[in-house]
Structure 1
Amino acid sequence: MDPDEFEHASRAVLERYPGDERGRMLHAPGLKTAGTFYAFATGDALVVKLPAARVTELIATGEGRPCEPRPGRPMRQWVCLTPAGRDAGTAYLLEAREFVTGLREREGARQ
């Protein structure tokens, strides 16, 4: 995902969720909610945090590839994607945000 597409998709999400923030993750521009990152862009990839089963599905279908900042050490629940356009990028960002906010809610309910 080129930087302009990431910027456009990010802006769409931030307009919908003005409490979310921009930040840097692994030296790359990213998005976070309540201090938790759910996406960042690096090179030509959009990297999003999703449930492990969804990550496995995206990799199996060829839509995604493991996020491996260090070769051979994939980040759990993160997947690299090359969305086909801005709308697809925005949809992945929203999916990742939904996952991260749901995790936080489930963790809060356990305490």
Structure 2
Amino acid sequence: MITDEEIRKVIAPLLLSGAKMLDKHCPKCGSPLFEKDGRVFCPVCEYREKKRERELKGVEEVLMEKFKELANSMPTEVEKLRVHLEVMEKLLTIIERYKKLEGGK
């Protein structure tokens, strides 16, 4: 289902830019397909993918900042250091998962 935001932010500007709306629809989201510069595409799916990538990048940045904080505050007591390193390892695992969701970027 196409949202009002997607119509306003994606479809309307495309029409104004001279892109041609086709009589075919995206099998994934139902949006009309467009053609511009010889390329046929679904603007809604592209918009959603870019939005998702931005959101994932924001989460990754927060996780990396937390990881840096942990790296800069290593305790000296052995047991506390062990726990600290376990937390850092888990955080790295989460960051790697986000990178895979982004397609390895």
**TM-score normalised by L of structure 2:** 0.33
Bigger radius of gyration among the two:
2
**TM-score normalised by L of structure 1:** 0.32
Q: Which has the higher contact order (CA 8 A, sep 6+)?
A: 1
Higher strand share: 1
Higher helix share: 2
